[in-house]
Amino acid sequence: MIAAAALMTAACRKESADDGKVDFLLTVRMPISVENPVLKSIGVTFTDVATGGKTDVAEFASAGEGTYTVAASLLPGSYNVDMSGVIVYTSGGAEVESYIEASREGVAVAAGGTTSENSLTVETTVSTIASDDFVIEEIFFTGSLTPEGMQYYGDQYIKITNNSDRTLYADGLMIMQSAFLTTDKYDYNPDVMDEYFSINSSLMIPGSGTDYPVAAGASVVVAITALDHTQYNANSIDLSNADFEYFNPLDDEDVDNPEVPNVICSFLEEGDYWTFHNRGFKSYAIGRLGDGVTAESFAADYYYAPEYELVVPGFGSFPMDTDAWKFPNSWVIDAVNLSIKEQFAWIVTDPSLDSGWTYCGKVDGDQTRYGKSVCRIGVALPDGRTVLKDTNNSTADFTPEAVPSLM
């Protein structure tokens, strides 16, 4: 996320004799913290607080180096002003695109007011509202209930979406589950969170690099079991057309759909079964191994056993350790923390990966969580594209307890 300051100055001009509207001029100065910033597009919405009426403006004009103006014609009143835009600037000799946004409530537009009387200056933040890579669009981790009220979680899935404007390849993409719970906080030693995402299992999409193209805006679905689950549970989902599925050949009870490619499982032993935590106590990330790192070398070179103290009231403190692998934060593409309000203790990612969390269910064992998922929110960009919101804050980026997109 890029933080910068932009200066918006609003001034009311003369009142029109025809419709009583006032000429309103919004001045936007580009951030001083980036090199050679240029405004590509902008969208400004003026919302009349009294009536709810909206005036949208997308045209802008250059007003000198680093400064642009947006003109609007508004009736006198009080307005909420929301602005978003796209800027291009230079970083490390390369051209970088980012998004700016600003908002201000209760902006007064006065009839007959002078420029100075109706002027407005606000400090705004320039931030990335959408990533340019794959993102986790949805996790259906809760499973469903059978008509008899029995728990059914073989229908879990994750949907990963290309959030860029170009074709990307899913080959080698890893889906990782956190080693730690968001509902139990311990002082793990060593503490590596500022550099690594600690995981205890992962799935990897196969391929040689270009076997699985994903068009801009398209998605891939990785199912725990790629079957038509409605044949076994009328309240479930048909996942027989999933793009990939989990299958553990060491588990003689696992079911394999031969028509769906299998993901590559890591750190699994005979009898293990990879599943999403169906109460939402774990966090998840997607990423890729660094250059020259194989799944085998990662398992060997990035293993660690963090230690912690387990305190049991009335019995004492007990030294503990757990198996984990350190996945460098620089390899992570996207991350989502899950938890529940009743027991949330901490996020288990560095805040640079995800500074919030989302949920299905508000208490442990919440029976209302079944058949719900967490879904990323879509946003419209000033250039006309609709993308998935990605501010690295799952609280703001996701709709909790959503209707699963495949149900």
- Does residue 4 surpass a pLDDT of 50? no
> Looking at residues 356-370, what average pLDDT do you find?
94
Q: How far apart are CA 39 and CA 32, in angstroms?
A: 13
Name, in order, each residue with C-beta under 8 angstroms of 70's C-beta and a sequence gap of 6 or more: 25, 26, 28, 42, 44, 57, 59, 60, 61
Q: Taken in order 86, 89, 94, 98, is the CA torsion positive or negative?
A: negative
**Phi and psi (nearest 5°) for 112?**
75, 5
Q: How far apart are CA 297 and CA 177, in angstroms?
A: 19
> Looking at residues 190-194, what average pLDDT do you find?
95
- Does residue 7 surpass a pLDDT of 80? no
Amino acid letter for position 94: A
How many Cβ atoms from other residues are within 10 Å of residue 331's Cβ? 18
- Does residue 244 surpass a pLDDT of 80? yes
Least trusted range by pLDDT, from 15-24, 241-250, 258-267, 363-372 = 15-24
Residue 123 pLDDT grade (very low, low, confident, very high; cuts 50, 70, 90): very low
Element (H, E) at 395: helix 394-397
326-338: per-residue pLDDT in tens?
A: 999 999 999 999 9
Q: Domains in the chain, ordered, with CATH? A: 5-126 (2.60.40), 134-402 (no CATH)
DSSP-assigned letters across all residues of 62-94: E-STTEEEEEEEE-SEEEEEEEEEEEEEEETTE
Q: Taken in order 74, 76, 80, 83, is the CA torsion positive or negative?
A: positive
- Does residue 382 surpass a pLDDT of 90? no
- Does residue 15 surpass a pLDDT of 90? no
DSSP-assigned letters across all residues of 236-271: S-B-TT-SEE---TT-TT----TTSPBPEEES--TT
Q: Taken in order 65, 66, 71, 76, is the CA torsion positive or negative?
A: negative
SS3 213: strand
Global pTM? 0.73
- Does residue 96 surpass a pLDDT of 80? no
126-160: per-residue pLDDT in tens?
A: 555 667 899 999 999 999 999 999 999 999 999 99
DSSP-assigned letters across all residues of 299-355: HHHSEE--EEEEEETTTEEEEEE--EEEEEGGGEEEEEEB--TTT----SS-TTT-S
194-243: per-residue pLDDT in tens?
A: 999 999 999 999 999 999 999 999 999 999 999 999 999 999 999 999 99
User: Tokens 């007003």 map to which residue?
Assistant: 63
SS3 298: helix
Give how far the C-alpha of residue 69 lies from the chain's centroid of Cα atoms, to the nearest Å. Answer: 32
In whole angstroms, how large is the CA radius of gyration of the chain? 25
> Looking at residues 53-82, what average pLDDT do you find?
87
Residue 19 pLDDT grade (very low, low, confident, very high; cuts 50, 70, 90): confident
